[in-house]
Amino acid sequence: MTELLYQTDSWLKEFTATVTATDTEARTVVLDRSAFYPGGGGQPCDFGTLEVLDVTYPVEKVKKLGDEVLHFLGGTAPLPPVNSASHGTLDWDRRYKLMRTHTALHVLCGTVFRDYGAQVTGGDMDPLKGRMDFEFENMRAELVREIEAAVNHEVRQAREIRVRILSRQEAFQIPDLIRTKINLLPDNIQLVRTVEIVGLDLQADGGTHVANTSEVGTIKIVDYKSKGAINKRIYIEIE
């Protein structure tokens, strides 16, 4: 089992860990703890490096498999033996951009729900750009500038972002979480991590976020598309 360090400290840029398993064929290493985000919820995985026994391996991909995190190592150096001590370093420039982008998407979904009652159905992101799908029948071109102004207003409110880990029972008491379909959570998940933009948005979420909306920057709505009568896709970029 890998302890997911990013869940409680999204600001961890470097960490030490012990190698618990390796797969020479796939060039993967499992660690007992990791700050590398393995991807999920629309947020892509982290990149970086892993130093073990004087070798610096590039970490080219990270993936969660069950309760373990697989680190895919580049290069040609032989993989380290199990029980080796290692030192991981994130590509922080990429990760911090993803934290800003992920938070921007939550500002967008909180604002659109508050102002138009539209629910989110999905989303995806890359550093400094992303898209979000809504059940938003009344979305039209004239609303683009209105939504853009409203989300940037929320960013400038410098709203705090709070991360909590709740029991399933506690989480199921929160009306805002029920709205975001928390009832679809698999039965075996007993702890729910919540990310709250205070006063704007609250979601069950495993991703990494900035601490305050003022870190996001300026959000631009660069496009929107109809994916049918009800489903609309909004594209954003961050500056």
Binding interface with Zn ion (CB under 5 A)? 41, 205, 207
Q: Are 155 and 214 in contact (CB under 8 A)?
A: yes
Comparing CB distances to Zn ion, the nearer of 73 and 234 is: 234
* Identity at 210, one-letter amino acid code: V
Helix (H/G/I), strand (E/B), else coil: 103:
helix
Nearest CA to 88 out of 104, 69, 107, 105 is that of 69
Comparing CB distances to Zn ion, the nearer of 42 and 88 is: 42
Site of tokens 């008491």: 173
Comparing CB distances to Zn ion, the nearer of 12 and 105 is: 105
Strands 191-197 and 161-167: antiparallel
Comparing CB distances to Zn ion, the nearer of 18 and 129 is: 129
> What is the C-alpha to C-alpha distance for residues 151 and 177, in angstroms, rounded to an integer?
21
The CB-of-205 to Zn ion minimum distance in angstroms stands at 4
The CB-of-18 to Zn ion minimum distance in angstroms stands at 30
Put the strands of the sheet holding 231-238 in their side by side order: 119-126, 129-135, 231-238, 219-226
Comparing CB distances to Zn ion, the nearer of 39 and 41 is: 41
Q: Which two tokens stand for residue 99?
A: 């934290």
E strands present in 74-186? 85-90, 119-126, 129-135, 161-167
The CB-of-17 to Zn ion minimum distance in angstroms stands at 25
The CB-of-70 to Zn ion minimum distance in angstroms stands at 22
Comparing CB distances to Zn ion, the nearer of 48 and 207 is: 207
> What is the C-alpha to C-alpha distance for residues 237 and 201, in angstroms, rounded to an integer?
20
The CB-of-106 to Zn ion minimum distance in angstroms stands at 6
The CB-of-121 to Zn ion minimum distance in angstroms stands at 13
Site of tokens 């954003």: 236
Residue nearest to Zn ion (CB): 205
